[in-house]
Amino acid sequence: MSTMNGPREWGRVLTACLTPFHPDGSVNESEFQKVVQHVLFDQSNDGIVVSGTTGESPTLTDAEKLRLLDLALEVAGSEKAIIFGAGTYNTAESIHLTREAEKRGAHGIMLVNPYYSRPGQAGLEAHFRTIAAETSLPVMLYNIQGRSAINLETETLRRLMDVPNIVAVKEASGSITQISDVCAVAPEGFRVYSGDDAMTLPALAVGSHGVVSVAGHIVGKEISEMVRCFAESPAQARQIHQSLIPTFKAIFKAPSPVPIKYALSRKGFDCERVRLPLVELNDQEKRELELALKPLSFAAAMA
């Protein structure tokens, strides 16, 4: 098993990596590796999530997801954490993907709330327990009511914290109260990650460990610095947070990951294309995004 077998080793700033496509809609493998290299090393992220929502996982085949994992592991080597998004609304399929990810050397798996199926809390708990029991990899749960139509309630999550290899949660409830409650009941060593870029600093203030970001594609260094400064210089962390808010707002003005793919494409990456049912930004949306991102250091690349 990998030595990166827990959230301490994953680090504090992870980015859910996008998936570039060729004009014919197939995965652009070489460009994906360039993006991974950029996010992990140029943008100073501690790791990435492959085949998450930002990677357009609902439109990827199982074979494509696992191939992306292989490609990401090639780039990362032993220096960075690669977490694999194995969660679907199908428990059996999630188990299959989890087993395959473990065989390939993933450093952990992420399991999203089973979207569309909308199970109750008992079903959610059984789903996560069943998958976790099929792997020795560390597991990060992903609570996002906005995309799954269900909330992983804190009491349910507290019970799941007793499962030895469920070691983290990406908390994207959008509620600082819920994040605070989760941090309050988390045992020592269990890591709470913000699942919302704009909530990263508030979440740190109530006890979270870090963030699973989208903006980390373009401002990973700044986010990492904010997280580092939180303990040493809270005023500086607040200043960085405030400076990043316009970026956070801009990259979520249209369905994600459409804006972040366009923003990164303006830095020279061939990654703008998305798979239906997502569509690319229209000209007006592009102009608005470029205006919002002009203060960033890579704005010159947009000229």
pLDDT tens sequence across 31-43:
999 999 999 999 9
Q: Helix H segments across the chain? A: 7-10, 29-37, 62-76, 91-104, 121-132, 145-148, 154-160, 176-185, 200-205, 216-232, 234-250, 258-265, 283-293
Say if 265 falls within a structural domain.
no
How high is the pLDDT of residue 5?
56
Say if 272 falls within a structural domain.
no
Say if 248 falls within a structural domain.
no
CA dist 269 and 78 (Å) reads: 25
Give the domain CATH number at 214: 3.20.20.70
Say if 287 falls within a structural domain.
no
Say if 278 falls within a structural domain.
no
Confidence band of 300 (pLDDT split at 50, 70, 90): very low
Q: Which residues are catalytic?
A: 142, 170
With b meaning 16 or more CB within 10 Å and e meaning fewer, what string describes 179-209?
Answer: bbbbbeebeeebbbbbbbbbbbbebbbbebb
Longest dimension (CA), the chain: 53
State yes or no: cis peptide before 257, omega within 30 of 0. yes
What is the pTM for the complete model shown? 0.94
Say if 276 falls within a structural domain.
no
Query: Strands 47-50, 191-194: parallel, antiparallel or unpaired by DSSP?
Result: unpaired
Question: Mean pLDDT over residues 40-47, rounded?
Answer: 97
Pick from 195-199, 223-227, 273-277, 289-293: least confident: 289-293
Say if 170 falls within a structural domain.
yes
How high is the pLDDT of residue 86?
98
Q: Indicate whether 216 pLDDT > 60.
A: yes
CA dist 142 and 76 (Å) reads: 23
Total domains in the fold of the chain: 1
Say if 172 falls within a structural domain.
yes
Share of the chain above pLDDT 90, in %: 88
Range of the domain at 139: 7-236
Question: Mean pLDDT over residues 108-126, rounded?
Answer: 94
Question: Mean pLDDT over residues 42-54, rounded?
Answer: 97
| Tokens 């960085």, residue located | 240
